[in-house]
Structure 1
Amino acid sequence: MLVAARELLAVRSPLDAELMVSDMLGAWWGRRLRRGDVEEFLGEGLVDYAAKAGTPAALTLLVAVAYLGTARQAAKAEGAALALMESDVARPRWAERVGAVKPQGCYVSRDAYGDQDTVVCTFAYRGVPRTAPAAVEAAAEGAQEPKGDAGPQGPAEDPHALVVIVDYNMRGMARDAWVSSQVDTLLEKAGIEAAGNPMLRFEELEPQQARALLEFAMKATAETLGRRRSTNVVSDSYSAYHAFARARIKALPPGRKRPAPLFSEAPYSRDRRAMLAAEFLASDAAEHLSDPSAASRCADHIIDYGCDQDFNRPLRVSPTKCETFLLDWLPRKVLLDPAEQDAMPHVLLSWVRFAAPRTGLPDEGLRATLDAVYEAMGRFTEAYRDPTTFGLDRSLVRRLLPDGDLSALPRRAFAFPFLDGTRGEVDLSSLRPAEDADRRVLLEIDHAAERDRPDFAEHLAWHEEIATRLWNGDPEQMWEAAQRLLDLGHDRHDVLHVLMEIAERIGDHPDELAAALDDIADIPDEPPPAP
């Protein structure tokens, strides 16, 4: 990194320097380390190494990290940079202007679907500070101070725009970011494109709102990466601009509530959701649906998805949203009976016709959304895999999924593998693992061979703790850790005991428990034996 930092000495503008260092810091952004924080291990380690090097290149890097790094990195880098400056280590002229920017304006380009916002925030560097004698001399000669951004700081320089794409089909996360120095051209093109396209809106955004929106989006990105354990949900270039974007967002004034996505409404209560479903089923758009009962249940799923996964926007429809719902969310999350599987694509088509006029979606958008659903109908039958087709009895599946959460089936079946047949006088098919009393009976049967243990009651209580956590998916890292141990060849009983040991050792510290389970989930495969 310090070798690469030498190039900073040849840079002539703080903007270029900040972008270079942001790219450096992005080299490990989103990566994971076993038993450690990557930002602490690599980022702070780089700061420590640069501080010891004490070269002009090291000082230049420290100055940039003091602005672009995490809070801990910035504090360490600032202290180290000041120490090197006191030792008269040389630094470039632009070093004093790193981060000395002023917001110029904020804008947002929104598509008519409400799928995404493209947020544009423009900045400029404050000019080189004037010396007092020069200001006094100008006043003595009767010269006026320049207006606007000029003045004691001089004219603003190096205008540039930070552009961030906020994707509402991915829970409002920041999916892409880049920087442009062609600010006027960028804004002009965005305005012209929106003026000639009914599917786009381009408008100014208050800087406070822009900050709130982007802070929310970047937090959503971090949370999504934590769940998916992969950076493939963002663009390839996002990591290079992440540190720069984080720093520029802090330059915007705080103090406003995040602007709601297009078509957002107040939270829907259960009664309000039921009323919306009834209105849909009574509409002309739904009159051709042949199975009213299945259509009603499908409508409930569509409305719940819009309320719970799309910022209270059940009436918002778009090609991307409909495809995500039909081909990704339903196959992962919802248990549908055969009638619902047959009806769902047709109900979704009717819902699009019902909802689009209520949000004012242009005809062009309505046609594109209907086409997308038609194209997805054939793929839905392949994407949705009914668990009963794998030999599972539907009544058993219903007992494991009383909430219909299809994604919970593997971990719940792992926690409670004995749900059929009889054990002694107990009819296992009559027990419901969602109920505490039945859950305890199932665990006692599962561990009948260990009844003679002197600590059997305590041991069973810990098994119940782990089983309950697996049932609820709390934390989600527990099932990921269990799967990794199974992949490594451990049997089910050993896996449960590993999870118990971790939970007992850490106690009631959710973050520490999640981190410890993460370490297990990240265990690599054993290297192949040497020939």
Structure 2
Amino acid sequence: MTELPQQESSDAAESGSELLEEVLREFAELDSAAEPLRVELVTSEILGEWWEAGDDLAAELIEFAEVAPEPERLVAPLAALRALAPTEEQREAAGFALDKLGLGEPDWARSLNQVTVGECWRTADVYGDETSVLCVFGEGESAHGLLVSIGYALFGGWADEAVIVESPAEVIAEMQGQAAESGNLVTCERITPGRAHQLLADAFVGTELQTEPEVTDDYVRFRALAMARTRALPEPEPADPPRVLSTEEQAEAIDAFFLATPEVEDTEAARVCALRLIEFGLEHDPRDPLRVGPDKLASFVDLVDDGAIELTDEQDEALERVLPAWARWGAVRDGLPEDAVEPLLEAVEDRIYERTLETESTLDAYLDGAEDLDEAGAADVLERRQFAIPSVYTEIADEEVELDPSDPEQRRLLVIGEHPDFQESLAEDDLDEEAFLRLAAHTTVVDQLWDDEPPEVWQTAQRLLARGLHRADVLAQLAGVLEERLETGEGDSLEFDLDDYLRALDELG
């Protein structure tokens, strides 16, 4: 018997027309003599809200200009979009729509993003994991700066924070002070505006390529203005091309690693770990794939733990020996300062220790109630339950969460997390009877596998796996058999005939 999940009501989202009306009101509050920077900040915040919500309301606003009953209200936002819309296509479309209206523009319209370029500075950690770029615009008391934080642990580098600062001279002093106080761990240098353009443009591309980048609230707020200021910089200097490593060069690097680190046993599993590190570098750090840094190596471990980088159990065990040695070998090869090597190794050891704790905690959840079993019995329980729930992590409402599979309610959420169609229906309060039955069947089958009750469910799953079916297909077949036999009982409960269910399972596989 399975209880029907309760549907939750959700508030209706604001319609596009309501949001557009709100935008028109905000621009109506900006008089013609408003400071251009104020207009830019208002526009950037609006565009940031749209970007975060995944709505392309800029295009809708431009189209609305064709039929707007009060076209004069569209002049200000179109003028702002002409300068600050993130894509060239939208900027051109906004300008074209504005020209078609043929109405007078605010005084600030032609001054947006028309700025003089001043000094550009860059700080970077010695490992190459992080950098901050500051560009100064304007002069004297009216000068302001764009400060962008860039990480190079993933995606070839991407921006996670951007902010407009009022006192760039103070920020420059802070950057210089940070470098001076760090010893050899942080550098600070003045760079050309062209170099700054290249760094920022590449970083913004890295962010935009991600489906759901983890960025700060300031990045969302200042994103459009930061991109506009980047376009105001001189042409970007050419960037170093990606470093391509042939299969032979990768093998040579692995040979050199084991030759330099005799304390690591040269096994096939250890070599696969080294190869995965190189492949990770080629994908996520293409200009310097063999570079080592605390953030970069931690990101590698994260991807292993998430299953994005696949290792066998033997290879995973070897990783704990390979990773610190790889860090030390890379530090020597890259000529890192001596006082930078120890913090790097400590960070790697800390990440491995955290991983051990996470693994032990996860195992405790999977072996809940099986503490008295011998090693072979515990292994069987672990295999069955990890088939039912392969990960304690899932994404609910666009947020990654860690849950306890031994808790029935949290286990249900882990099942829902594997089925976006269930999530969407639940969130929209639109789970029909057919979807209810599917959800009930899936959660019940997972519960049966977890508890091994009835044991025929796991026996059937093993037969199907032996035939070469993938986990998702096996679960789909098991849930399908149960769903066909579910009947409504008292209240919101669902019931099924156990004998009939077991006969149907026996016929599978």
Question: TM-score, structure 1 length as denominator?
Answer: 0.59
Matched, 1:40 2:59: yes
Residue 163 (structure 2) aligns with: 178
**Distance in 1 of aligned mates of 2:178 and 2:44:** 31
Return the offset for 1:235: 1.1
CA contact (8 A) 1:110 1:201 kept: yes
Task: Report the counterpart of residue 3 of structure 1 in structure 2.
Answer: 25
Find the aligned partners of 1:104 and 1:28 in 2 and give their Cα distance.
31
Candidates 53, 66, 91, aligned match of 1:74: 91
- Higher alpha-carbon deviation: 367-376 or 176-185: 367-376
2:303 alignment partner AA: D
1:124 — aligned with what? Answer: 138
Matched residue type, 1:358: R
Q: Per-residue deviation at 1:224?
A: 0.6
Q: Relative contact order (C-alpha < 8 Å, sep 6+): which is higher?
A: 2
> Superposed, which structure 2 residues align to 1:286-305 within 5 Å?
286-290=261-265, 292-305=267-280
2:128 match: secondary structure:
coil
Aligned residue in 1 for 2:239: 258
After superposition, the Cα gap between the structure-2 partners of 1:47 and 1:349, relative to the gap in structure 1 and judged at 3 Å, is: farther
Which residues in structure 2 correspond to 1:440-479 (within 5 Å)?
none
CA contact (8 A) 2:62 2:97 kept: no
- The AA in structure 1 aligned to 2:126 is A
Correspondence for 1:65 among 69, 74, 81: 81
Aligned to 1:211: 197
- Structure 2 length-normalised TM: 0.62
Letter in 1 for 2:146: L
Q: Distance in 1 between matches of 2:307 and 2:57?
A: 31
Shift of 1:119: 1.7
Unaligned runs of 5+ in 2: 1-22, 367-378, 392-416, 426-434, 440-491, 493-509
Kindly, what percent of the aligned residue pairs are identical?
26
Give the drift of 1:373.
Answer: 2.1
Do residues 28 (structure 1) and 28 (structure 2) align? no
**Cα RMSD, aligned residues only:** 3.8
Q: Distance in 1 between matches of 2:40 and 2:169?
A: 21
Is this contact kept in 2: 1:327–1:379, CA < 8 A? no
Answer whether contact 1:47 1:73 (CA < 8 A) is retained.
no
User: Post-superposition shift, 1:486?
Assistant: 6.8
1:221 matched residue in structure 2: 207
Give me the whole-angstrom Cα distance separating, in 1, the residues matched to 2:244 and 2:126: 22
5 Å-filtered alignment, 1:96-495, equals 96-124=110-138, 158-171=142-155, 172-197=157-182, 198-225=184-211, 230-231=212-213, 233-254=214-235, 256-258=237-239, 266-283=243-260, 286-290=261-265, 292-381=267-356, 391=383, 483-485=419-421, 489=435
What is the distance in 2 between the residues matched to 1:75 and 1:245? 19
Q: Which structure 1 segments of 5+ residues have no match?
A: 126-155, 397-405, 408-480, 493-528
Counterpart-to-counterpart distance in 1, 2:286 and 2:301: 18
Q: What amino acid is the match of 2:115?
A: V
Post-superposition shift, 1:23? 0.8
In the alignment, the residues of structure 2 paired with residue 340 and residue 87 of structure 1 have an alpha-carbon distance, to the nearest angstrom, of 68
Q: Tell me the alpha carbon deviations over residues 307-359 of structure 1, each in whole angstroms, 9 at most, x when there is no partner.
A: 33222534422222222212334542233233222221121111112111222
CA distance in 2, matches of 1:305, 1:88: 54
Tell me, in whole angstroms, the C-alpha distance in 2 between the residues paired with 1:88 and 1:24. 23
1:18·1:98 contact (CA, 8 Å) conserved in 2? yes
Where 2:42 maps in the other structure, the secondary structure is helix
* Structure 1 residue aligned with 2:38: 16
CA deviation after TM superposition for structure 1 residue 179, in Å? 0.9
Q: Which amino acid aligns with 2:218?
A: S
Asked whether the 8 Å contact 1:326–1:345 carries over to 2, the reply is no
